[in-house]
Chains A and B, each alone.
Chain A
């Protein structure tokens, strides 16, 4: 096992959060976890196909960042995109229906697990090739600046959050887009979810400088590392980065140190990660940790947390029923959506 990085310290006790906001974050994390567990079950029961990459363990990153955004801000994701879409507000039933290949899916059954889109929720997509979502996210951020500064629209202060993994931080698009974002002071958050493994390639074996957040400095951009298993810590750095972006002060690179509790995809035998490593990270489960935080600070009681879990279980059950009962796309529509006029 490679020596673990020391997680940055965060003074959670000094952080302020209302009970309502706490429950909102908790609900979003539980939604992500329950949704993914249901996906695993459906995949193994042969109801879901293709490559399915689950997000278990990383929930604090999605919830901490996306719940710090406004509904008119933009989110851009990768192939591990279910939970980002859910945090962005895409209804669970439409995400589940997409995974079932149904017409009611958020991409109308044409996209699948790695290609979740929703223009209604400014979800720019799940992008399945490494790094290719970063330039697209940059374009959304450029568009905000263009509307504000070239077209003189003062209300155009939308921020874009762009998620990707540690493996992507060695790809050219990462560096090219950091450069352009800093050069043009674009309102964007580059959120690296460093879960230590790019399928079977350990991060330390793939990069000459494992501390990804430090790569921001050469572009004159703030780079911060954060404990990605602590939603309060992620929320804190996200809020600061969003405020800076919205004020026209440019991009931020956030490196969230996190871990996926399952293999790369449901097809991954996951034989390379050590038991000790997995156990160490499982002990930091971000949902259990946030439950403890909420209870310790008397923000909510156990009954309120259970009510959230019960409600989300119902949401997942309803999503599954919706997905199973929805129609598949019509064969007559095979060519629909190739062109804008279709």
Chain B
């Protein structure tokens, strides 16, 4: 076991997969000589050379399309979005070509590529650098969407994403890169399509992902002191959703709270609620509650920013109210 920072866990995953398969390469802004804005590709340029760790011009839509073409012809590109928000500029290539081309081509081509990088609300980065594109991209057919949350799952999930034959949007969180965890010395891969039961419990199911997992964990400490026993599930896969795990939990607790960092309108939680209504309505003892970010551009001011995203105290209160059936 070795204590590893999350950004280094990602780096190890990329390094191991590049060593294992020479068709794997990284491209993006400042991934090479500079080593990546969050040092996820540090020193890989020296190790693998300028074609396998390719510094691109600032042309998101075009280098994303280039990765699609490389994937169609047998390579396995990993795009680093310096900030995932920048990939709004690549929306066309991600949606039309990464997501839909396999279907549109009638199965002629597969597109094994990973698009990874920091998303989420950081510390006073302003609206454009604080986006949660997972909600925008969830309607695109053909994409897998994954959010990591710990050094352990970051490494194992990224390895699985690189090996996957489909386009995977892989969300890291800008405030989680320095999380530390002891990682196994042996190689491991974490499946992309399985939610993680962070804490088993019986009173209520809390569905969350990315940084909000840690806000939930903080809230749970307070709830435990009050004698409550929530079940916490990190969704990991935002598309497709792991309804085996979600459903089993609902059948046990009959109550659901969703805690997410995306905005409420058109968010991941909105989709989950609709699906729960389709599948598990009879299991519910209470309406599903979702705690989401406010439907506003993330403000720069620190106090306003704090008000924009869900805080642990709000999660605690929501769980208490639900268990007391004061939803």
Q: Do A and B make up one complex?
A: yes
CB contact between A139 and one of B23, B69, B104, B144 (< 8 Å): that residue:
B69
Residues of chain A lying within 8 A (CB to CB) of residue B127? none
User: A259 an interface residue at 8 Å Cβ cutoff?
Assistant: no
Q: How many residues of A contact B (CB 8 A)?
A: 47
User: B325 an interface residue at 8 Å Cβ cutoff?
Assistant: no
Residues of B within 8 A of A (CB): 22-23, 25, 49, 51-52, 56-57, 59, 61-75, 92-93, 96-97, 101-112, 141-142, 144, 164-166
Asked if B165 and A179 sit within 8 Å, CB to CB, the answer is: no
The docked-state distance in angstroms from the alpha carbon of A339 to that of B23 is: 20
Asked if A136 and B106 sit within 8 Å, CB to CB, the answer is: no
The docked-state distance in angstroms from the alpha carbon of A157 to that of B98 is: 25
For A105, A117, A342, the residue with the greatest tally of chain B CB atoms inside 10 Å of its CB is: A117
Surface stretch bound by B, among A142-150, A283-291, A293-301, A312-320: A142-150
Q: Considering the complex, which residues of chain A in the window 85-132 have a beta carbon less than 8 Å from any beta carbon of chain B?
A: 105-111, 115, 117-119, 124-125, 127, 129, 132
The docked-state distance in angstroms from the alpha carbon of A129 to that of B101 is: 13
User: A326 an interface residue at 8 Å Cβ cutoff?
Assistant: no
Residues of chain A lying within 8 A (CB to CB) of residue B109? 117, 119, 125
> Quick one: given A115-B105, A338-B103, A338-B141, are A142 and B92 in contact (CB under 8 Å)?
no
> Quick one: given A132-B93, A135-B63, A138-B65, are A143 and B75 in contact (CB under 8 Å)?
yes
**In chain A, what residue has the closest Cβ to B102?**
A337
The docked-state distance in angstroms from the alpha carbon of A338 to that of B165 is: 12
Known: A111-B106, A180-B63, A342-B107. 11 other contacts (CB 8 A): A110-B104, A117-B101, A118-B108, A125-B101, A143-B69, A146-B25, A149-B51, A150-B22, A172-B61, A180-B56, A337-B106
Asked if A107 and B72 sit within 8 Å, CB to CB, the answer is: no
User: A75 an interface residue at 8 Å Cβ cutoff?
Assistant: no
CB contact between A142 and one of B70, B93, B110, B142 (< 8 Å): that residue:
B70
Residues of A within 8 A of B (CB): 74, 76, 105-111, 115, 117-119, 124-125, 127, 129, 132, 134-143, 145-146, 149-151, 172-173, 176-177, 179-180, 183, 336-342
Asked if A139 and B72 sit within 8 Å, CB to CB, the answer is: yes
Asked if A176 and B70 sit within 8 Å, CB to CB, the answer is: no
Asked if B65 and A129 sit within 8 Å, CB to CB, the answer is: no
The docked-state distance in angstroms from the alpha carbon of A341 to that of B165 is: 8
The 7 A-B pairs of least Cβ separation, nearest first, read A139-B69, A135-B65, A108-B106, A340-B165, A117-B105, A176-B62, A136-B69
**In chain B, what residue has the closest Cβ to A146?**
B51
Residues of chain A lying within 8 A (CB to CB) of residue B61? 135, 172-173, 176
**In chain B, what residue has the closest Cβ to A122?**
B73
Asked if B68 and A135 sit within 8 Å, CB to CB, the answer is: yes
The docked-state distance in angstroms from the alpha carbon of A105 to that of B62 is: 29
CB contact between B142 and one of A119, A149, A338 (< 8 Å): that residue:
A338
Residues of chain B lying within 8 A (CB to CB) of residue A143? 69-70, 73-75
CB contact between A111 and one of B74, B97, B105 (< 8 Å): that residue:
B105
The docked-state distance in angstroms from the alpha carbon of A183 to that of B62 is: 14
